[in-house]
Amino acid sequence: MGTKNFSNANDLITFSRASGGTALRKVAYGPELVTNGDDFSSGWTTAGWTISSEQASVTANGTNQNLYGTPVSNAVAGKLYQLSYEVISSSVAAGNLRAGAYSGASFFGGSYFTLNTTVGTHVVNFVGSPSGSGSVLDFWLYAGATSGTLVIDNISVKEVLFDQPDGTLTLFNHPADIPRIEYDADGNVLGLLVEEQRTNLLTYSEDFSNASWAAFGTKTITQAAGISPDNSLTATYLASPGNNGMQSTITVSASTAYMFSVFAKADVSSSLRVSYATIGGTTANGVFDFEISTGVDVGNGWYRCSVTFTTDVGNTSAVIRIQSGVVSQGIYIWGAQFEAGAFPTSYIPTSGSTATRAADVASIPVSAFGYNQSKGTVVIDVASINGFTFGSIGDGTFENDLRLGASGANTVRGTGSGFAKSVTNGSYNYETGKIAIAIEEDNYYTAKNGIGAAGVDTSASLPPNPQRLNIGSDYTNFQNGHIKSIKYYPRRLTNAQIVELTS
């Protein structure tokens, strides 16, 4: 019998995520597609903008003011692109700079983008839609802007190329419906990232100059002071004279676990202090000191540091504070996140309001890989996990799905609500490694990391309506981690073979 091997998530998997989603990934870029985006020497039309010293500037006057250029050449519908631009200076209110197509159907994601106006380099990643007559790139200052000036430079559009040998590890914000194959800081592939829905409750995750980040004592920061984990010039330098810093107040729910996380990079100081105070409850303030290097390494000296706390019965809000862990010494920070949950999930950028990352939904139709209804074996290589569900086989209903994962007792098993009760496999405890389950009428068996179950389930039936193999979830519960590989065998392997495959 032949074997099918699929190394790309797009080859076989049906995937959706109704929002963007970040992941550390090897990223390279194709050639420049914009004509003279670095000096505006030709190919650009100005309507209210001024070209001077190889930069474009505009002063708000309450009307739409446009800067539009030649068509983006050689662009292809359906491919992934990155629009980048640099804000040199700005006193324009947020939400008033936009980009898209000058007229007609828009190649640029089918709509316009609202752009960040803080000083620094910013990027927008999008999937190209049919260009029609609208492939002319248009920057415009919206009529809602009645005051302020803006200077921009270095406008660029390039194709995004994932997983190239010469790619640079980047915390990349994937557009909606683009699967995330993540790497660790050493360039090793972790696998397909599958997560539940989460919301970043901080409204400004990168702009620490915004009023939502108030000072306690003296707030001393420098914006655009360094290269951030997404390889843009947006990192903030935070000094802590007199043991001071900055804080943000967030509405919370009572008796709920929350996670706070922020990317940090050592400078004069190598430590970070995070503290919180609850309002309306009885929980005492908490203070957490981190050696920055103990966080999750994301490369180039950056680490993601996180802390969890649980609100009490009377809580209505919480105050999060950030400062250097050493008085009067500085660190770099970027990408703050405050989310409801007992563990941190991937970074969700915000720039003026809270933002929600939708759940990752990945599956393979059973017709695509020769599913055998009478028997089979599934082996899953789990690179990381913060949940108990690795996948399921069925039709998406609770009654008919065979869920592959761990039960509430932390045991590896496959279970269906009305038709299958498989053998369990001892303590699980969020282990990484390889998990296997073999299914056959009255002959189920599981193994994990080279350890087989104590016995075989001799009274288990089969999923009655198998339509797809769900990856990393059963549509309700999510793995919240990485799946490195999935192997399916259209036969019931022996118990010894299953144990060997998970070793």
Say if residue 135 is in the same domain as residue 75: yes
Lowest mean pLDDT among 112-116, 313-317, 483-487: 313-317
Strands (E), 91-229: 97-101, 113-115, 120-127, 136-141, 149-162, 168-174, 181-183, 189-194, 198-200, 214-216, 220-226
367/242 same-domain check: no
Asked if residue 172 belongs to a domain, the reply is no
Q: Do residues 203 and 343 both lie within one domain?
A: yes
Mean pLDDT over 340-359 rounds to 95
Residue 158 counted as domain residue = yes
Q: Are residues 390 and 422 in the same domain?
A: yes
pLDDT digits (tens, 9 = 90+) for 152-197: 999 999 999 999 999 999 999 999 999 999 999 999 999 999 999 9
Residues 461 and 343 reside in one and the same domain: no
The CATH number given to whatever domain includes residue 446 is 2.60.120.200
- Whole-angstrom Cα distance, residue 189 to residue 181? 8
Assess whether 92 and 205 both reside in one domain: no
Domain termination site, one of 357, 380, 413? 357
Same domain, 341 and 384: no
Per the domain annotation, does 17 fall within a domain? no
189 assigned to some structural domain: no
Q: Report yes or no on 173 lying in a domain.
A: no
- Domain's final residue, options 299, 326, 357: 357
Query: What b-and-e string marks burial along 133-171, b requiring 16 or more CB atoms within 10 Å of the CB?
Result: ebbbbbbbbbeebeeeebbbbbbbbbbbebeeeebebbb
- Are 108 and 153 part of one and the same domain? yes
Residues 335 and 416 in one domain: no
Same domain for 353 and 371, yes or no, is: no
Domain boundary among 341, 357, 373: 357
- CATH number of the domain residue 319 falls in: 2.60.120.260
- Residues 319, 371: one domain? no
C-beta of residue 401 within 8 angstroms of C-beta of residue 474: yes
8 Å CB contact between 195 and 346: yes
CA nearest to 473, candidates 393, 417, 379, 371: 393
Domain that holds residue 432: 363-501
Q: Is residue 380 part of a domain?
A: yes
Structure tokens at 269: 């100081």
CA–CA distance from 91 to each of 119, 138, 273 (Å)?
10, 21, 32
Look at residues 214, 200, 208 and name the one whose alpha carbon lies nearest to residue 226.
208
Q: Report the domain count for the chain.
A: 3
Say whether pTM exceeds 0.85.
yes
The torsion angles phi and psi of 495, rounded to 5 degrees, stand at: -60, -40
Q: Is residue 184 part of a domain?
A: no
399 and 318 in a common domain: no
Q: Look up residue 17 and give its two tokens.
A: 């995520």
pLDDT tens digits, residue range 412-455? 666 666 666 666 776 666 668 888 899 999 999 988 889 888 88
Q: What are phi and psi of 265, to 5 degrees?
A: -140, 130
What is the tens place of the pLDDT at every residue in 84-142?
999 999 999 988 999 988 776 677 777 788 998 988 888 899 888 876 656 788 999 99
Whether 419 is in a domain gets the answer yes
